[in-house]
Amino acid sequence: MFRFAYVLLLLGGTLIVLTICSAQAQPLTTPSRYLEIKLPDGVRSEGVFIRYVLDADDFGDWVQPRTGVPSYLIDTNRAGNPATRIRAILYAPGCAIQTLDLSLAGLDSQRYSFRCESLPNVPIVGTLTRTNRLFGHDVRVQAKHVARWAQAFLGVADIPTIPVGDVAQVASNGSFRLSVPDFSQDPLVGVPDYRGELQIWARDRTSDKVVAQLTPVVNSASKTRMGGLRIQSEYPEIVFAPCAANPPLMRDAFGFALRRDPCDR
């Protein structure tokens, strides 16, 4: 049920190891034990994010989003045995992030209603420079919420990243405008000691593969150590430069490998 891939990224001279979970598809048949997460009216099911673990020593999984479904079923059998507990983080577009911690002991199935606590949006207006670092890719951009707090809550090795807001097009002059949730008003993640950030990522317009993280080119109160943006109620206009996720190997006229273009921090 669970598959993991380990991806090495060289970003700004820092080696980052990401643990990526495989998504659990919506079951085609109803499992013998399950948790049904019901969605409220008006929530786009294809934008829902659910990352969960079963029991204390579980690696966990995440639910693959689908369009036009009223609920998601999570199989609560673990390796053929009934799980006794489920913990999850849940997000839906326009809503605050939620956590879920339920006992499953002695129950064949449960239902949980996701109640949307509405959040306003905040714009991020950016300009993309140093586009040579995209290595010819025509890209779109999207924000991700890096939920470092969720690592301890779920008890997992990976840090969940939640796609938030709509995908934005980049104009011919390099400008773009994103609309993201105002997480400073989120009751869970908007507290002062909360550890999290927004990161802006570029995806190839055709293949949708991740091309680069877009990092602010100057230090400011908005910029995090990892090249993301702090959770704020408003953002100034920001100039971003790509930090390629997997830059191609460059060689000189003699065939020697060239040093790759560093990523600004």
Q: What is the pTM of this model?
A: 0.79
Q: Does domain 4-113 have CATH number 2.60.40?
A: yes
Between 17 and 199, where is the model more confident?
A: 199
Nearest partner of 126 among 264, 208, 242, judged by Cα: 242
Positions of CATH 2.60.40 in the chain: 4-113
**What are the tens digits of pLDDT across the range 120-146?**
999 999 999 999 899 889 999 999 999
61-63 sheet: strands from edge to edge: 23-24, 61-63, 49-54, 85-91, 98-103
Alpha-carbon distance of 5 to 155, in angstroms, equals 18
Alpha-carbon distance of 29 to 50, in angstroms, equals 20
71-75 sheet: strands from edge to edge: 71-75, 34-38, 109-113
**What are the tens digits of pLDDT across the range 51-61?**
999 987 878 89
Per mean pLDDT, which range of 79-88, 145-154, 163-172, 185-194 is the poorest? 185-194
Nearest partner of 157 among 40, 33, 53, judged by Cα: 53
Query: Is residue 65 a contact partner of residue 51, using CB atoms and an 8 Å limit?
Result: no
**What are the tens digits of pLDDT across the range 195-251?**
789 999 999 999 999 999 999 988 677 888 888 999 999 999 999 999 876 655 444
The 10 Å Cβ neighbour count of residue 64 is 12
